[in-house]
Structure 1
Amino acid sequence: MSSSRLELPPPTNRTVLLMAWPMTMMAIMLHGIVVIDTYVVAGLGEAAIAAMGVAGSVANLLLGMLSAFAMATQIRLAQAFGSGREVGMKSGFYCGLFINLAVAGAGAVLVLLYGGRLLDSLAHTPQIAADARRYLNVFLLVILAEAVALVLSSHFNACGRTRLPFYSYLISLPVNVGASIALIHGLGGLPEMGVSGAAAGSAIGSALRTAFLALMFHRHFGSYLGVAGWLREAFWPAFRGHLLFALPIAATFISATLSSSVCTMIFASLNVNQFAAMVLIMPWVMIAGTIGMSWAQATGIIVAQLIGQGQRGPALDRFLSSAWRAAFVTAALVALIYLLVWLVTPILYPDLHPETRATLAQFLPILLLLPFPKESNAVCGNTLRAGGETVYVMHVFIWSQWLFRVPATAVMILWFDLSAVWVFSLLLAEELVKLPAFHIRLFRGKWKQADVMT
């Protein structure tokens, strides 16, 4: 890539699709780390599922923070890729990597120091707390590996090479599943680790994925070792600029992950069967929802590239209008997947308590409606971030979460003692709260005039 402005072909919905489907598979497999762990321990009973749910709330918070900063790095790199500046690509990658490693290290230290007390306060029984603690301590190895892998994936996504991160999961997923099952049950002479064996299997898979991505990064881009200099003449000024750009984006995703984790902790006040139903359905909500989210994310990457090229007029409008209409097709597909998951629940989880199964059945109407406002909001949010409206997007997310969803969850469970179905409906209500704020801002068009060049 030269230092001159990069001329990319006019993007279409096919361009978005070619970028989005590998990103969808990658995101499914990232969420699938916890889903696979939950599935392989389901045979150990509701207590094991509850331990996974408690530990998973903390694990997802750490993964969410890493994904947040990686997302900011991805937008920064997409703008640099559109402008054709290799020094911008180098600066964006290494600044993003430094941030992710720092966040992972700090998170691991906090978990080791205070995680045990938190899990003890959330678990229903001492045995559940002990299993959750063992799982989370081993899962820290996954956090460290994913800190690097997510930045590498963001780099490839920003360059339009979304298949490489997907391939990394194709390589690591079978290893993850096989190692998890073997370590949980002590097969083949391996130690029988129980719940923590699932985390150990995930750590092995994540390490393999990271090694593959690092090899591809060096093979295709030479790790930018031959590119001299940094943006703003030195690393630390470049790092400060990257951090200032990243913080509002990261704060948005961190707030979403943190609020979801807080809600999950509140869910623990439900009875064990209803809590188990929430633990089982939430990963599927995230997994199927990644289809729509990846379409929105790919749309945002292309918008960032177009802005990096200086295209802010009719070509940008035509692309965005077409991509936004196609997003509703992906929303319908997500709703169909939710229906299929609901239909096969008795096959996936044959040994569930009747109350757990009844609670899962009552979630269906909400699942069928949720994808449509969520997908439209996602397209708006990713477009606004690509245009520099990062602070505004942050405010929409933070206030809808902390002034609406979290308090409403606490009131429903801790005050009114409502069932899990009412609590689950807040996912849909939150999207409806965000809808006017996102769409009015997008239609005003001020985001197209922002100076976001790297």
Structure 2
Amino acid sequence: MKQEKFDWGYFLKHIAIIAVPVALQNLLTTTGSMVDTIMLASIGEKAVGAIGLCAQFSSLMFSGYWGFIGGGMLFFAQYWGAKDDEGITRSYGMTLLFMMTVGLVFAALAICAPEFVMGVYTDKAEIQAIGISYLRIVGFAYPLQILAMAMSALLRSIEQVRIPLYGGIASVVANCFFNYLFIFGKCGLPKMGASGAAVGTVLAGIVNLLVLISFVLYKKIPYVLEFSKHFRWTRSAVAQYLEKCFPIICNEVLIGVGNMLINVVLGRQTEQAIAAVAVFRTMEGLVIAFFSGFSNAASVLVGKEVGAGNHETAFQRAKRLVYLCSGIIGVACLVLLLVHNPLLHTLGLSGESYRIGTGMLIIYSVAAIIRMGNWAQNDTYRSAGDAAFGSILEITFMYLMVLPFVYLSNFYFHAPFLLVFAFCYIDEPIRYILMQRHLYSGKWIRPVSGPGMATIEEFRKQHGIQMKKSK
């Protein structure tokens, strides 16, 4: 059967429509974090290191709820393609409830047990004290951030990508403004140092949420505020949702725990290395922020076609999106390396901490091209209904390869810090080969919508795809 010519014009246009606003929003958020770091750098490297470790706790929370975001976007995108309004609203209700449960648990830990949290991440008493004062306040921002994240995920999935961008712009401006006031004690306010950055984060979360809700009301967008419809669940709908979410939840939680264990190693280095790690995470955020817009586009553009039953279009788009994402990340990493010298100095690194930070960036720039290719493929599989394959691979390699290499090299062989750091990415090339084989197999297209399921057997027959029969 002759394939239709691929429509590059439509493809690139819609990637830009979805990816650019998402990338801009994430870049703005990361830029805001960099401004925070620059402000805190004037206080000292210990403050930078402490807030960096607190950010790792936030990342663990992110891992806890991202499984529901990933599962939710699978349903949002496919139901959007199938024009199933009830399915979108119902899936959003489930996603929001499960995410908020995770957020409240982490908020309680941050507010009520910050000593325990900081004790896990570092053994440096001065850094612990700064982190404790920060966590007690920033914990109030977690539920706000999760509500905004859920709303943004839904809006992006239904191709309303500009609204989260507007919320992100307002949030970053508010965060920088309030941080300046409270960190340095301007306009008659108390000089709070690192705690002032936490106050700024809470107030920025409120601003972001207000902007999102205002635009949803102004544009009369359905789904988001239809509270009476959010919980019209059936047992079969909940079972299907959790079945798709479960591998993603396991993936994100177990990888989050694995990353926490890695951060425990990185948090027990010298104070210069801890500061370098904190700054590196901020700069890594620039790359991830830039990339996530394109990964989000992959999820929507592929998932939407799978939901509508256009599986061949989804298949052809997926193959091109993966290589496009990797190429774009290569360019982004090159730019980052070209400007790293003034950037690292501006972010407060000098001497030994600057040397370590430079080494980390070089290692990461090589690994990121493959790493983001794996990420793009996994997001594509999830949006098409296959939440298990990439998750199983990532968990397996994290616990059987990455963690043993990192722990043994650091605690047993006492390897140089940069070699220990390089081992964090040792599994990426192997996983990339396995992910590529799965990509070209087409077995990852597993629709959940009516139109998608009606045409899947024809697609599989056309490509000679043999699926294992469920018992």
State TM-score, norm by structure 2: 0.86
Q: Deviations over 1:15-34 (max 9, x none)?
A: 11221111112333445565
Distance 1:305 1:333, change over 3 A: same
Q: Where in structure 1 are there 5+ consecutive unaligned residues?
A: 1-8
Q: Deviations over 1:98-134 (max 9, x none)?
A: 1111111122223345441231354343332121011
Q: How does 1:149-228 map to 2 (within 5 A)?
A: 149-219=148-218, 220-223=220-223
Which segment drifts farther, 285-294 or 165-174? 285-294
SS of the aligned residue for 1:12 comes to helix
Query: What's the counterpart of residue 447 of structure 2?
Result: 451
Q: Distance in 2 between matches of 1:89 and 1:20?
A: 21
Query: What's the counterpart of residue 391 of structure 1?
Result: 388
Residue type of the alignment partner of 1:119? M
Q: Distance in 2 between matches of 1:34 and 1:266?
A: 23
- Structure 1 position 421, deviation (Å): 1.2
Query: What's the counterpart of residue 25 of structure 1?
Result: 24
- Structure 1 position 212, deviation (Å): 1.3
User: Is the contact between residue 149 and residue 210 of structure 1 (CA under 8 Å) also seen in structure 2?
Assistant: yes
- Structure 1 position 330, deviation (Å): 0.7
Distance 1:387 1:337, change over 3 A: same
SS of the aligned residue for 2:221 comes to helix
Distance 1:409 1:32, change over 3 A: farther
Q: Distance in 2 between matches of 1:224 and 1:354?
A: 50
User: Is the contact between residue 275 and residue 353 of structure 2 (CA under 8 Å) also seen in structure 1?
Assistant: yes
Distance 1:29 1:264, change over 3 A: farther
Distance 1:324 1:346, change over 3 A: closer
Which segment drifts farther, 287-296 or 33-42? 33-42
User: Is the contact between residue 40 and residue 198 of structure 1 (CA under 8 Å) also seen in structure 2?
Assistant: no
Which segment drifts farther, 38-47 or 211-220? 211-220
User: Is the contact between residue 366 and residue 428 of structure 1 (CA under 8 Å) also seen in structure 2?
Assistant: no
- Structure 1 position 308, deviation (Å): 0.4
Distance 1:398 1:36, change over 3 A: farther
Q: Where in structure 2 are there 5+ consecutive unaligned residues?
A: 1-7, 451-471
User: Is the contact between residue 168 and residue 209 of structure 1 (CA under 8 Å) also seen in structure 2?
Assistant: yes
User: Is the contact between residue 30 and residue 289 of structure 2 (CA under 8 Å) also seen in structure 1?
Assistant: no
- Structure 1 position 354, deviation (Å): 1.0
User: Is the contact between residue 302 and residue 380 of structure 2 (CA under 8 Å) also seen in structure 1?
Assistant: yes
- Structure 1 position 285, deviation (Å): 1.3
User: Is the contact between residue 230 and residue 238 of structure 1 (CA under 8 Å) also seen in structure 2?
Assistant: no
- The answer to whether the aligner puts 1:377 opposite 2:374 as a matched pair is yes
User: Is the contact between residue 80 and residue 157 of structure 2 (CA under 8 Å) also seen in structure 1?
Assistant: yes
Match of 1:435 among 432, 435, 447: 432
User: Is the contact between residue 170 and residue 208 of structure 2 (CA under 8 Å) also seen in structure 1?
Assistant: yes
Which segment drifts farther, 143-152 or 12-21? 12-21
Distance 1:317 1:125, change over 3 A: closer
SS of the aligned residue for 2:447 comes to coil
Q: How does 1:25-424 map to 2 (within 5 A)?
A: 25-31=24-30, 34-120=33-119, 122-219=121-218, 220-223=220-223, 234=233, 238-313=237-312, 315-349=313-347, 351-424=348-421
- Structure 1 position 69, deviation (Å): 2.2
Q: Distance in 2 between matches of 1:398 and 1:90?
A: 31
Distance 1:321 1:438, change over 3 A: closer
Distance 1:122 1:103, change over 3 A: closer
User: Is the contact between residue 87 and residue 230 of structure 1 (CA under 8 Å) also seen in structure 2?
Assistant: no
Q: Distance in 2 between matches of 1:130 and 1:224?
A: 40
Q: Deviations over 1:171-219 (max 9, x none)?
A: 1211101111211111111122111111110111111101111222334
- The answer to whether the aligner puts 1:13 opposite 2:8 as a matched pair is no
Q: Distance in 2 between matches of 1:55 and 1:183?
A: 18
Distance 1:183 1:10, change over 3 A: same
Distance 1:197 1:323, change over 3 A: same
Residue type of the alignment partner of 1:104? G
Match of 2:423 among 402, 422, 426: 426
- How many residues align structurally? 442
Q: Identity rate of aligned residues, in percent?
A: 18
- Structure 1 position 291, deviation (Å): 2.1
Query: What's the counterpart of residue 457 of structure 2?
Result: none
Distance 1:316 1:342, change over 3 A: same
Residue type of the alignment partner of 1:221? I
Q: Distance in 2 between matches of 1:431 and 1:177?
A: 36
User: Is the contact between residue 183 and residue 201 of structure 1 (CA under 8 Å) also seen in structure 2?
Assistant: yes
C-alpha RMSD of the superposition? 2.5
SS of the aligned residue for 1:323 comes to helix
Q: Deviations over 1:319-375 (max 9, x none)?
A: 2333233223312222223213423235413x5341111112223432331232123
SS of the aligned residue for 1:154 comes to helix
Residue type of the alignment partner of 2:328? T
User: Is the contact between residue 148 and residue 212 of structure 2 (CA under 8 Å) also seen in structure 1?
Assistant: yes
Q: Distance in 1 between matches of 2:225 and 2:121?
A: 47
User: Is the contact between residue 109 and residue 117 of structure 2 (CA under 8 Å) also seen in structure 1?
Assistant: no
Residue type of the alignment partner of 1:192? K
Query: What's the counterpart of residue 6 of structure 1?
Result: none
Q: Distance in 1 between matches of 2:230 and 2:278?
A: 45
SS of the aligned residue for 2:444 comes to helix
Q: Distance in 2 between matches of 1:251 and 1:156?
A: 25
Q: Distance in 1 between matches of 2:271 and 2:125?
A: 14
Residue type of the alignment partner of 2:419? W
User: Is the contact between residue 42 and residue 49 of structure 1 (CA under 8 Å) also seen in structure 2?
Assistant: yes
SS of the aligned residue for 2:426 comes to helix
Residue type of the alignment partner of 2:141? V
Distance 1:110 1:237, change over 3 A: farther
